[in-house]
Chain A
Amino acid sequence: MIEIGKILRSARLVAVLATALAISACANQNADNAGGAGGGGMGAGSASTPGSQQDFVVNVGDRVFFETDQTELTALGRATLDKQAQWLTNYSQYAFTIEGHADERGTREYNIALGARRAQSTRDYLISRGIQANRMKTISYGKERPVAVCNDISCWSQNRRAVTVLNAGS
């Protein structure tokens, strides 16, 4: 991030473009941390290539967040999944994995089951929006794959998530 900042400053790019690039870099890093397969494979492309994995991550949003110890989708989560469903309908070549995660404020075994429920809620919603079940699988990482690593609420809320990871080989 520091390096990108320097490049942007020296190049004096317009603010709008700088913001877009910064988000792209962040999202890419998060997808890697989440243990997903996304990013490196076919169709990675840049955020401005429609139908690319970066297009999905940056312009659609690859993840939804949950309230503490909850597995119901929030209104914001449903809106994100509506956009995901639209995109996945347009680009039907992609198979994908839904990764369910929990924050670290729970016990290990329960969090594995909780992450599985979050992935399942996400899956069920996408199916209800017309996405074929055979394109998706689910996995739970429990509290094992945090993306935010501080020990307070701001981080825990980012870790309670379900991430739609496009399969690299799709």
Chain B
Amino acid sequence: MINDQFHFNRRSLLLGAGALAGALPILMPRKAGAALRVEITQGNPQPMPIALPEFVAGSPGEAEIVRTVTSIISNNLQRSGLFAPINPAAFTEKITNSDSVPRFPDWRVINAQALVTGRMTRQGDGRLKAEFRLWDVFAGQQLDGKQYFTTTDNARRIAHIISDAIYQTLTGEKGYFDSRVVYIDETGPKDRRIKRLAIMDQDGAGTRYLTRGEDLVLTPRFNPSTQEITYMSYGQADPRVYLLNIETGQREIVGNFPGMTFAPRFSSDGQRIIMSLQQGSNSNLFVMDLRSKQTTRLTDTPAIDTGPCYSPDGKYICFESDRGGSQQIYVMPATGGPAQRISFGEGNHSTPVWSPRGDFIAFTGQSRGQFSIGVLKPDGSGERQLTAGFHNEGPTFAPNGRVMMFFREQGPGPSLYTIDVTGRNEQKVPTPSLASDPAWSPLLS
């Protein structure tokens, strides 16, 4: 059932990080308050020009790996929409030693605002040392410098971690590049679709399959704090919510419920799973504590209550219900109790998901035959549509709450897309085949 080849183990990454500050002279300090900064919250029409010359290879053996790492960083920054990597053909200075101060005038003349230099060197013990320095070209000053040690097969992760460091220094917010996405891989014709659990880096690279496709699998979700996912599967018996440890491949049915369970999601602390249980014509919300296995009913209505999701502080639950006649979003205390409808915009609102920042709830909107991705504030105000069309569904937030991924049905079937919460910068995520139901992991480091 589980692909044994794939053990995703955060602890196996022997990652050492050290600062590279202070070794080099600070030349022309920028005036106080004038720090190089990308403004992230507004529609930012001007991405910051950034130069990413290929990292220096410590020896010819690292030539290929530095090329890969540099291009992953460049791709990450470009896809974020906040940075515009400059075509390397325009570079006049060739960086041959990442320890020396760059010739800033050479980079100013091509209008690079920021410059990243780096080096990768194989150590005596076979590990790889990766170093980078981030420069403010116009101030002529180093903004950040770090070094990491890891095994060669973790080169992609090093590239994502360096991307996050650059993003954080230049935006003032945590990045989201060192993260993964679990999703449903789809193959075959629409009436005989094979669905497999799959996991990939957030940039669409490195897809691995967690199931082989014998059983229909749907709606995988990450545990915010461990390497577990929960999902719905039509296994040998009735459809049920499952828990899968992606390090060990261990799989179990969640709870001992008398009917179909579906639409699972972890609590913010990862200790509980909230889900729907079908009871006759109705679906109600239940939560199960993963340690004590104790289950608690949260709703009891003659309605379809589903798509539950916790607020990041764990105090509230948002969910969708048709108790008022159409699918709308409700918020209630995490212990259950009175639920308040918060969506009043046109049409139906479903699949709510709370941003890790707590500021927005994203949803799938349905109106006039179109399916959209939108956001509103947890108090119901500020509803905004980010993208609309024939069929867009199932948003999930990046760990920093600035970007969302969702799936779009188009032509032969579904594909994954990302979009900023501002509604800008829509991008297709490359996947090996059709893909749906994405769920973003927390930051891995």
Contact = CB atoms under 8 A, between A and B. Distances in A.
Interface string A103-130: 0111111101110110011000000000
A109 B263 contact: yes
B345 interface: no
A149 interface: yes
B350 A33 contact: no
A140 interface: yes
A146 B191 contact: yes
A71 B303 CA distance: 12
A165 interface: no
Interface string B202-228: 000000000000001011000000000
A112 B232 CA distance: 11
B281 interface: yes
Could you tell me the dominant secondary structure of chain B's interface residues? Answer: strand
A33 B192 contact: yes
Nearest to B320: A110
Q: Which of A121, A147, A149 has the most CB of B within 10 A?
A: A149
Given A112-B262, A140-B260, A107 B394 contact: yes
A117 B218 contact: no
A109 B190 contact: no
Interface string A138-158: 011110111111010000000
B191 A109 contact: no
Which of A112, A114, A141 has the most CB atoms of chain B within a 10 A radius of its CB?
Answer: A112
Contact of A140 (B278, B394, B409): B278
A113 B276 contact: yes
Given A112-B218, A112-B239, 10 more contacts: A107-B394, A109-B219, A109-B320, A114-B304, A116-B281, A116-B283, A117-B281, A144-B193, A146-B191, A149-B189
Closest 3 pairs between A and B when the two form their complex, measured CB to CB: A109-B263, A113-B304, A149-B190
Interface of B: 189-193, 195, 216, 218-219, 232, 234, 238-239, 260, 262-263, 276, 278, 280-281, 283, 304, 306-307, 320, 322, 327, 350-351, 364, 366, 369, 390-391, 393-394, 409, 437
29 contacts: A33-B191, A33-B192, A104-B391, A104-B409, A105-B369, A106-B366, A107-B327, A107-B350, A107-B351, A107-B393, A107-B394, A108-B219, A108-B394, A109-B263, A109-B351, A110-B322, A110-B350, A112-B260, A112-B262, A112-B263, A113-B262, A113-B283, A113-B306, A117-B281, A139-B238, A144-B195, A144-B218, A147-B191, A149-B190
